[in-house]
A and B are shown apart, each in its own frame.
Chain A
């Protein structure tokens, strides 16, 4: 592989990795608190992309003018709000009744919710791929071509993650989140309203996934289908595990790493059909050899 191709693949990898990271923080936060895989998280990402498509594909009385920066910001904010509502609804209707159920039951429910949302999207919007009608100028940087959209996406996702880190480390809500993920019973005894913290966690995670979906649709121009979110969702989960599940910087690192590895495999013509396999092989390898992930700390399993 030539050096410029390699650099190009790296750039593409970092871009898809940033998206994985945005989804993965949602997985990792929910897992940290509830010890469950929110399978439906990928579908929330898909809904974000759908909102972006809906916003740009018709003229909303001129409110969302998609050529202006303000219009796009408004669109992404709308997507985040819609996804936030969806995330809270999912928690309320599907997961809260099962708060004390065995983990496997919650997992099966989550798979059900994921498929429900996929098929709802299929019925409401059909299976045809939908593309946001926007194109971005490409800039050449020493043999590497980066579209302006990709650049904006990268900067935006990095700032989202920085914001999240601030929220978790510096605010009272963040402290409550950390307390609940440490030990929710003790946190409850200390007066942390953990139901509210759980809802808040779902809302934040869903909003980030929604932003990720909307930005992928707008800035990368990826075609949106009902299964748009499934594979990215699963891969984001792998990223979360790779970085150490329950650990937010770990999820970001894992996402970027997975994105880059995938891009490198995808750049090889014989291996490219199997780029989806990379994530699963990585998952098995990580769980067998370093179950705590790259940044996680090893926890002794209680018997």
Chain B
């Protein structure tokens, strides 16, 4: 317990220090390439998508429930937390004496994020209880429907700006790195710790074989709903941060495309691998930004921005991954302290062995697979 608290403290301090450093670098224009735009595109957005991918991985990869509604939870978190800030919290903040403004803002932002997370979790519960009785394909369609319904709902609610978008949200997140990084780390830590616990084994058992899990006394519905609610909660919190950094949100920000992009990240990284989700989440988003650097092309007599091809690229990545490497880049492997230590300790040893035996030792020293199940059977559906 003390150790965990210590880790949390260290993480907060490091995030805060990095936040200050980055802010100084961006606003002071220390480097030519580190502008407000590149900071947002290469640091903030990838962090946001790491959170989304890792939280979806909990539902999709670890528990094996294929959900296409992640953008819905993202939207619920964003809109409801923004609604709280605009209609209630702003008024409260105005009554706070100037000396306490900073602290009050901090507290209200935390509250808004918790409201976003809670609302998304509640939605996850409401949606999850009926839909998670469905299996595989049906679940995918039902969650897709949920995501679309949520978007249509916000498109038609006038309190949330309807199609004009919800503007005038107080930008309490400010510079952003601190909150975004903290959320991503929190999401990773919760996923990882959950996976190491008894509950984690139950999640995995639902994925591997639902019938067998049920037979062994695992309450599959309970664990499916639990995974759904936890995943939704983090997505909602991510939405809350997005709303309070951008200051305005629009229904189109939460289209089905977002769900598909996050699914692509989880699938590419390896369903069930947290490390994979992190790498694919950050990597795909950064690659997408790099696409923008390419020149404009003219095809069929029309001009195309390179970023017009991004959804095409995501779709191709999705198909090719499934056909050629269905387990994803990392399979079920994780990067952990233990793996790192093994790698570090291995390299000097390898150099010291005589050349004649190198091939043999290298083979013998291959790290044992850390996954719990064999890779070939990873997504068996009964």
Contact = CB atoms under 8 A, between A and B. Distances in A.
A98 interface: yes
A118 B155 CA distance: 23
Nearest to A226: B311
Given A104-B136, A287-B134, A112 B152 contact: no
Interface string B298-312: 011010100011011
Contact of B138 (A123, A279, A283): A283
Contacts of A276: 145, 148-149, 152
Main secondary structure of the interface of B (DSSP, over half): helix
Contacts of B156: 273-274
A107 B136 contact: yes
Contacts of B311: 115, 118-119, 122
Nearest to A302: B382
Interface string A264-290: 000000000110110110011001100
Interface residues of B, number: 46
A102 B322 CA distance: 11
B219 interface: no
Interface in A115-133: 115-116, 118-120, 122-124, 126
A303 B308 CA distance: 46
Nearest to B264: A112
B314 to A, nearest CB: 7
Nearest to B139: A287
B94 to A, nearest CB: 35
Contacts of A101: 322, 326
A108 interface: yes
Contacts of A119: 309, 311-312, 315
B308 A116 contact: no
Contacts of B155: 273
B380 interface: yes
Given A111-B263, A116-B316, A105 B322 contact: yes
Contact of B323 (A97, A102, A237, A287): A97
B142 A284 contact: yes
Given A103-B137, A303-B211, A94 B381 contact: no
Contact of B319 (A94, A123, A277, A280): A94
A241 interface: yes
A59 to B, nearest CB: 18
B68 interface: yes
B292 to A, nearest CB: 16
A77 B153 CA distance: 40
Given A101-B326, A103-B381, A108-B267, A123 B134 contact: no
Interface in B131-189: 131, 133-134, 136-138, 140-142, 144-146, 148-149, 152-153, 155-156
Interface of A: 36-37, 94, 97-98, 101-109, 111-116, 118-120, 122-124, 126, 234, 237-238, 241, 273-274, 276-277, 279-280, 283-284, 287-288, 301, 303
Interface of B: 64, 66, 68, 130-131, 133-134, 136-138, 140-142, 144-146, 148-149, 152-153, 155-156, 211, 260, 263, 267, 299-300, 302, 304, 308-309, 311-312, 314-316, 318-319, 322-323, 326, 379-382
19 contacts: A94-B319, A102-B379, A103-B137, A105-B322, A105-B326, A109-B322, A111-B68, A111-B140, A115-B315, A123-B312, A234-B145, A237-B141, A273-B155, A274-B156, A276-B148, A276-B152, A283-B142, A287-B133, A288-B130
